[in-house]
Chains A and B, each alone.
Chain A
């Protein structure tokens, strides 16, 4: 697994890391809870046929500036700046979990910025009848099993690499959790429901069948919301696919299957 190229873009005066690797048309990836403390096998699979551009949103590993963002509008505009500055405007976009909610916002509010869209268990909705689990109120030993079907996949994601600063690394991991909380506390509900009908991009919704954070039934709610299409005449089919043996961060549990589904949708 070779290293991606690292560049930095500025958002509100704070640096945000952008990782780029691969060949072919650009594909953007907005990561889920925890962000990208390290490069992933999932991204390598995508990079075989696409140029993968993975920017870190403010507060996630490699980026700061979340403390500037007070409202959902602040967040959405920060993501727009990142998408533009990372050269992703108009490219196909994949967003997972918390990043999925922002990918959906981009497609809804700035339709020209998103080619095709793939959402992997996105945040943004909350159903009283099937409440999402609280990712910010979990004991340390329980959390990995809630985020991934195989808890080791989460543990490996956040484990300090050799040579990492033993003080700063855990702070950076907590900061990623704080950044997610800052945008999605307490229920993960950003009222995205009101805007789903604005999404014009052909959309693939992927959901791990063992997602213990957001119930897999939320996939249908997203599809239904998008298919309401506020402006009739918008086109592009919306499709739901379930990923077997995958948890909330399905791209960690089943990198090959998720990458295959995404690439097929973008083909």
Chain B
């Protein structure tokens, strides 16, 4: 299986009383809470951590896009990915991803992704999320009623821009461009870089991923227990559509905290986990449901499942527990897997098998976790957990992984030596 190292880049110094004094971590989070000089250090720590993960042999490093968000400091993940393209050599670069409808024209995404693919020698995974309501409709002012149509059309445009050999005119409903002809073009051109779709649990998205042969990623912050129903729904739908159960059709996000013992893990990771689930997920409900963002089919499914859930006390209480912000409930709920290396191995194998997920995206930094702790978590996982879970799904081929240039053909990137530069 593939083990991928994901960074959200949270602002790590939200005040203790954040939830009491501020309505939301997202959209209208107050500018006075942001100290650019502290952010200088955060960004550099985070990029060190991503590079460290690449050095330790994780299959990919992952970045994503958020706007006006106190737990995601990457309005442009492409900036980080381009830096990683230079500071890593063999690791896949998973940009998870660019919210297509936010780019005008969307060929900007085709260009920037092609740049990253060229610079990295063909290591890009191209993620295309619709984007959250907070990012797209509120922070970026997109019309929720037009968002999905725009997204789908932008996807068509980007894909054509990557694959058509000649300059063409794009005559879309929302985008019209007389001359589409991107330079540079991606190295992965058979037919294009792998496309992965982070999405919620809608049947429409599953069907679309199956039809297009894309990887479906369920990026929930609530872990494998809560994700089980969604992933089962996904696999049931794949079966209906006559697709095989290749676990590499799917990606899943999981928080992990590993230490020498379970107690030590709790000691180390309680504060950052509670910071994340407490402060970082403190989102004002008024930004959750712009009308039109959720399709009517999904609304219908949601209302119907609520009706059936209401009769089921067990799932109702598990829905309430989704709001857990203390470590015991966070761990009991499976949001964060903690334990000794062997305990974590056992749980990761269980997650991978029960969800049938070949691309596991790991959050080993979360909340206000320090660089030292993050590196410790990252190293221990790489040394003691990774070797004992890598064998999973060996019988399946990952057809959705980047196909970079052969190592010998790739540019040799000289190490950065500031002291030499200063001396010259």
Total contacting residues, chain B, CB less than 8 A: 22
Q: Is A138 an interface residue (CB 8 A)?
A: yes
- CB pair B286 A171 closer than 8 Å: no
Contacts of A171 in B (CB 8 A): 296, 299-300, 303
Chain A, residue nearest B296 (CB): A171
Q: Is A181 an interface residue (CB 8 A)?
A: yes
Q: Is A66 an interface residue (CB 8 A)?
A: yes
Known: A137-B286, A185-B143. A178 touches B300 (CB 8 A): no
Q: Once the chains are docked, how many angstroms separate the CA of A186 from the CA of B146? A: 12
- CB pair A136 B291 closer than 8 Å: yes
Q: Is B144 an interface residue (CB 8 A)?
A: yes
Contact of B291 among A70, A139, A167, A177 (CB under 8 A): A177
Q: Once the chains are docked, how many angstroms separate the CA of A105 from the CA of B127? A: 42
Known: A70-B173, A182-B145. A175 touches B303 (CB 8 A): no
A-B contact count (CB 8 A): 59
- CB pair B141 A186 closer than 8 Å: yes
Q: Is B413 an interface residue (CB 8 A)?
A: no
Q: How far is the CB of B182 from chain A (nearest CB, A)?
A: 26
Known: A70-B174, A181-B143. A138 touches B286 (CB 8 A): yes
- CB pair A178 B292 closer than 8 Å: yes
- CB pair B303 A186 closer than 8 Å: no
Q: How far is the CB of A7 from chain B (nearest CB, A)?
A: 25
- CB pair B291 A174 closer than 8 Å: yes
Chain A binding surface SS class = helix
Give the contact-size bracket for chain A. Answer: 20 to 34
Contacts of B151 in A (CB 8 A): none
Q: Once the chains are docked, how many angstroms separate the CA of A138 from the CA of B290? A: 9
Q: How far is the CB of A164 from chain B (nearest CB, A)?
A: 13
Q: Is A231 an interface residue (CB 8 A)?
A: no
Contacts of A178 in B (CB 8 A): 144-145, 291-292
Q: Once the chains are docked, how many angstroms separate the CA of A186 from the CA of B284? A: 18
Scan B126-142; emit 1 where CB is below 8 A from any A CB, else 0: 00000000000110010
Contacts of A66 in B (CB 8 A): 145
Chain A, residue nearest B138 (CB): A137
Q: Once the chains are docked, how many angstroms separate the CA of A139 from the CA of B24? A: 13
Known: A137-B287, A139-B285. A182 touches B304 (CB 8 A): no
Chain B, residue nearest A67 (CB): B145
Kindly identify, within residues 318 to 350 of chain B, every residue whose CB is under 8 Å from any CB belonging to chain A: none
Q: Is A2 an interface residue (CB 8 A)?
A: no
Scan A55-78; emit 1 where CB is below 8 A from any B CB, else 0: 000000000001100100000000
Scan B164-193; emit 1 where CB is below 8 A from any A CB, else 0: 000000000110000000000000000000
Q: How far is the CB of B341 from chain A (nearest CB, A)?
A: 44
- CB pair B286 A166 closer than 8 Å: no
Q: How far is the CB of B131 from chain A (nearest CB, A)?
A: 15
Sort A-B residue pairs by CB-CB distance and give the 6 closest, nearest first. Answer: A178-B292, A182-B145, A177-B291, A178-B291, A185-B143, A186-B141
A-B contact list, 30 entries, CB within 8 Å = A67-B145, A70-B146, A70-B174, A137-B138, A137-B286, A137-B290, A138-B286, A139-B284, A142-B286, A166-B303, A166-B307, A167-B300, A167-B307, A170-B299, A171-B300, A171-B303, A175-B291, A175-B296, A177-B292, A178-B144, A178-B145, A178-B292, A181-B290, A181-B291, A182-B143, A182-B145, A185-B137, A185-B141, A185-B143, A185-B145
| Residues of A that sit less than 8 Å from B by CB | 66-67, 70, 136-139, 142, 166-167, 170-171, 174-175, 177-182, 185-186
